[in-house]
Copies of this chain bind each other. A is one copy, B any other.
Amino acid sequence: VDVIVSTGACMVHDAIEAVGGHHYRGSWEVNDAELYRYHLFRIYDIFVPEEDYVRLDFKMSEMYDDIALEHKGESLASNEFSWEIGKRLTDPNSILRAAYEENVPIFLPSVRDSEFGFIHWLHASQDKTKPVLQLDAFKDVPTICGISAKSPKNGMIVIGGGVPRNTIQSSVLASKKGLDYAVVITLDRPETGGLSGSTLEETVSWGKMKSEADHVMVIGEALMVFPFVVAAVTERLGKSFKRNPVFQFQKPANKGG
């Protein structure tokens, strides 16, 4: 893996666990007004206590203070931001931490649309004399395109869709390379006209994927399909599943939130 592209929310859920919070197996058949009274936030069939968000807000707000101090007068790219966070997390099961350790950049093209955005507000409004963390919305564009341009072959594995899928596809277009292989695991469908469910064939018309690329779009639940893919690849490569720190995490980071 050369690059991870994620929504802000996915990494928020990773960070919640990394600072001691939890995701609980709940149910979607509940009275949400009652959950509200008990301060439990629901993401389909997963519950996260409000206090785990509050803990994240305060711990991360301090990290923002620290990052702002270290990078005074400088505006970060989203991938620099995620490494700065990863550097400050100690949980070895954290994706943000593991990516930092393994030198894998995590791009967050919609970072503002997540708790990371509201933590910034908290951080910036507390003590007006402190330096404020600056994040440049466009700074990561040449970086990810450059990685694609330098790669002899480009491929992507998409879980879900949305902004991350679009960002990857646009990057390989801008780098004039086009994908050589692509896997999309999703339940989204083309007839909405949206990006998430669009076929891989469609990307060929743009030059985002080469017409001869090896590709498949799996219409299925990622939590079932992706572990198969990882297990199969691991088996073929003759490595034990346990060894790679990236795959040690137990709880799925849900893309909602």
Residues of B within 8 A of A135 (CB): 136-138
User: Is A142 part of the binding interface, using a Cβ–Cβ cutoff of 8 Å?
Assistant: yes
User: Is A93 part of the binding interface, using a Cβ–Cβ cutoff of 8 Å?
Assistant: no
Residues of B within 8 A of A188 (CB): 188, 192
Report the nearest B residue to A160, measured CB to CB: B194
Report the nearest B residue to A161, measured CB to CB: B194
Using A42-B206, A206-B42 as known contacts, say yes or no to A187 and B190 having CB atoms under 8 A apart. Answer: no
User: Is A32 part of the binding interface, using a Cβ–Cβ cutoff of 8 Å?
Assistant: yes
User: Is A127 part of the binding interface, using a Cβ–Cβ cutoff of 8 Å?
Assistant: no
Contact between chains at B109 and A112 (CB < 8 Å): yes
User: Is A40 part of the binding interface, using a Cβ–Cβ cutoff of 8 Å?
Assistant: yes
Residues of B within 8 A of A36 (CB): 204-207, 211
Q: Output the residue of A124, A162, A186 with the most chain B CB within 10 A.
A: A162
Contact between chains at A194 and B136 (CB < 8 Å): no
User: Is A91 part of the binding interface, using a Cβ–Cβ cutoff of 8 Å?
Assistant: no
Report the nearest B residue to A220, measured CB to CB: B221
**Nearest Cβ in chain B — how far from A218, in angstroms?**
9
Interface residues in A91-125 (C-beta closer than 8 Å to B)? 109-114, 117-118, 120-121, 124-125
Contact between chains at B138 and A121 (CB < 8 Å): yes
Residues of B within 8 A of A72 (CB): none
Interface string of A78-98 (1 = CB under 8 A from B): 100000000000000000000
Contact between chains at A163 and B162 (CB < 8 Å): yes
Residues of B within 8 A of A189 (CB): 187, 189, 219
Complex CA–CA separation, A206 to B124 (angstroms): 24
**Nearest Cβ in chain B — how far from A96, in angstroms?**
17
User: A36-B205, A75-B75, A121-B141 are known contacts; what are 6 more A-B pairs with Cβ within 8 Å?
Assistant: A32-B202, A41-B206, A109-B110, A162-B162, A187-B189, A220-B220
Chain A residues with CB under 8 Å of chain B are 7, 9, 28-30, 32-33, 35-36, 40-46, 75, 78, 109-114, 117-118, 120-121, 124-125, 133-138, 140-142, 145, 160, 162-163, 166-167, 170, 174, 186-196, 198-199, 201-207, 211, 219-221, 223-225, 254-257
